[in-house]
């Protein structure tokens, strides 16, 4: 296989996601670990669980951002809408869980998965509950798969539309 063929067969989504990473995120992650140990007075033995649920929550955040940005495949000028939806998603994720009733919690754990970014991961670490950890892992897997699928469909729609314009 020629190098040009290898590049042509790679999927664009991982490259797009990596291109949006900021170096300051590494400092945020490092300081978070220090704060966990020093300010929360947690043992170093708790760090693997924290890293696991943090990674799972990050997957849900990334998948949700990807889904919102995929609106651009179907809606004209959707960038502002996608940004607003993502900001709303992050604001809701920072809310404590107690003000929400059952219906809102259900929405936060399905349609708008903010519950899998903060509420459930925090409970999984605080309680050491393997079922909540499994829920976090399942949500990360499901939302990542959904984001991949929606991006694939949108990309196919976009490229097929481009071919029509090329043929004219």
What long-range pairs does 49-54 form, CB within 8 A, spacing at least 24? 49/124, 49/125, 49/128, 49/133, 50/125, 52/133, 53/121, 53/124, 53/125, 53/133, 53/136, 54/121
Q: What is the rounded average pLDDT for all residues in the chain?
A: 82
pTM, to two decimals:
0.79
pLDDT at 134: 96
Residues sharing a CB contact under 8 Å with residue 54, sequence separation 6 or more, in sequence order = 32, 121
pLDDT at 145: 96
Most confident stretch, 11-20, 74-83, 136-145: 136-145
Q: Are 15 and 7 in contact (CB under 8 A)?
A: no
- Judge whether residue 160 has pLDDT over 70: no
Most confident stretch, 47-51, 133-137, 152-156: 133-137
pLDDT at 97: 64
């Amino acid at each position: 296989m020629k190098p040009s063929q290898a590049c042509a067969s790679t999927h664009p989504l991982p490259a797009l996601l990596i291109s949006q990473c900021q170096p300051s995120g590494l400092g945020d992650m490092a300081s978070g670990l220090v704060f966990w140990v020093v300010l929360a007075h947690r043992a170093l033995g708790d760090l693997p669980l924290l890293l696991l649920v943090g990674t799972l929550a990050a997957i849900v955040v990334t998948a949700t951002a990807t889904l919102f940005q995929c609106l651009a495949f179907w809606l004209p000028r959707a960038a502002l809408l996608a940004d607003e939806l993502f900001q709303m998603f992050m604001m809701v994720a920072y809310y404590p869980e107690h003000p929400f009733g059952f219906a809102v919690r259900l929405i936060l754990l399905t349609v708008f998965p903010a519950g899998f970014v903060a509420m459930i991961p925090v409970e999984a670490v605080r309680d050491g509950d393997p079922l909540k950890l499994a829920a976090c892992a399942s949500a990360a897997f499901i939302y990542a798969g959904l984001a991949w699928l929606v991006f694939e469909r949108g990309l196919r729609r976009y490229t097929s539309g481009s071919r029509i314009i090329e043929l004219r």
